[in-house]
Amino acid sequence: MAKDIGIDLGTANVLVHIKGKGIVINEPAVVAIDTNTREVLAVGEEAYLMVGRTPGNIKAIRPLKGGVIADFDITEAMLAYFIDKINVKSFLSKPNIIICTPTNVTAIEQKAIIEVAEKAGGKNVYLEEEPKVAAIGAGMDIFQPSGNMVIDIGGGTTDVAVLSMGGIVTSMSIKKAGDSLDYDIKEYVKRKHGLLIGDRTAENIKIEIGEVFDKERKESIDIRGRDMVSGLPKTVTMTSNETLEATRESMQEIISAAKDVLEKTPPELSADIIDHGVITTGGGAMLHGIDQLLVQELKVPVFKAESPLDSVALGTGILLENINKLQRN
């Protein structure tokens, strides 16, 4: 019997959940290719280590940009690699696959994702909206007639949704998320310190000392890069307060999206959200100070999911247990 699988096809990471086994893969959504032959050289963790460190003919690329397939062939190769790696296909049967996508994926993109999964070995392929699955994975009972709100801050997109009766009532997806914050930090370091740094260094700054609310956080980190004037390697020190300054505009856009969704929510469900609070999921939920910032701006309680990075993959696991319901829909 082929095991059914759930895939969180993220811009930054791909997580794979096998029914009955839990999360078996959590690797960066990166593929290294030879630009001359288009041959895939490495996928996932191995390819991520090559980012910014490869010779001219080898390029480490992320086939998903802003939660959307930017390179169809490479995404297909990546999915096929992960599905082969977990070895769920048998000679007689193929697995059912649930794949999570952002709320604003177009019909053409949906068709592309289904095609990729079918080519990679899926039997029935179901697409589910990411915030809905994240809410289920975070432990929300979204099938009751009451309002639940989730803010899923991923790598490429932030998805905000209010859910009730198993469906999305109002939602919004914006291309401001973890990657945007990395870019903001990179540009800030260039502007303020005259230093060129890579994507991985910027992400590391965000994880180690990043701050989006508290001016009192006094942490700092030494960062190495290339001096823009001399062209030589240089080290500078960056503080938490600087990351707060660097990411302010992007964070404001995320807050605006959350406010927009709340403003479009029916009054009865708004009352429920005041009772239940908002749950944050995705890598962005790990940002220092994010809960306090959202509480201050949205005026409702905010809670971080228990495993924010795994919420979507865990949600696919719960949906796989109820795959019969999906088959009937």
Annotated binding site: 11-13, 155-157, 203-206
Nearest to 285 by CA among 314, 307, 262: 307
- Could you identify the residue written with the tokens 């709100």? 149
d(CA 18, CA 70): 26
Dihedral over Cα of 220, 226, 231, 233: its sign: positive
What span, in angstroms and rounded, lies between the C-alpha atoms of 15 and 8? 5
Calpha distance 19→240 (Å, rounded): 41
CA distances from 129 to 56, 61, 234, 290 (A): 38, 25, 44, 23
Distance of alpha carbon 167 from alpha carbon 66, whole angstroms: 23
> Could you tell me the two tokens for 30?
């990166």
- Residue whose entry in the numeric block shows the structure tokens 């190495």: 224
Structure tokens at 2: 């082929």
| Burial of 322 per CB tally in 10 Å (0-12, 13-18, 19+) | exposed
Q: How far apart are CA 265 and CA 233, in angstroms?
A: 52
End-to-end, the C-alpha distance of the chain in Å comes to: 23
Sign of the CA dihedral with 33 first, then 15, 10, and 98 last: positive
Q: Where are the alpha helices (DSSP H) in the chain?
A: 45-48, 72-86, 107-119, 130-137, 178-193, 199-209, 240-263, 267-276, 290-298, 311-321, 323-328
Binding site for ATP: residue ranges? 11-13, 155-157, 203-206
Among the listed residues 7, 41, 2, the one whose alpha carbon sits nearest the alpha carbon of residue 27: 7
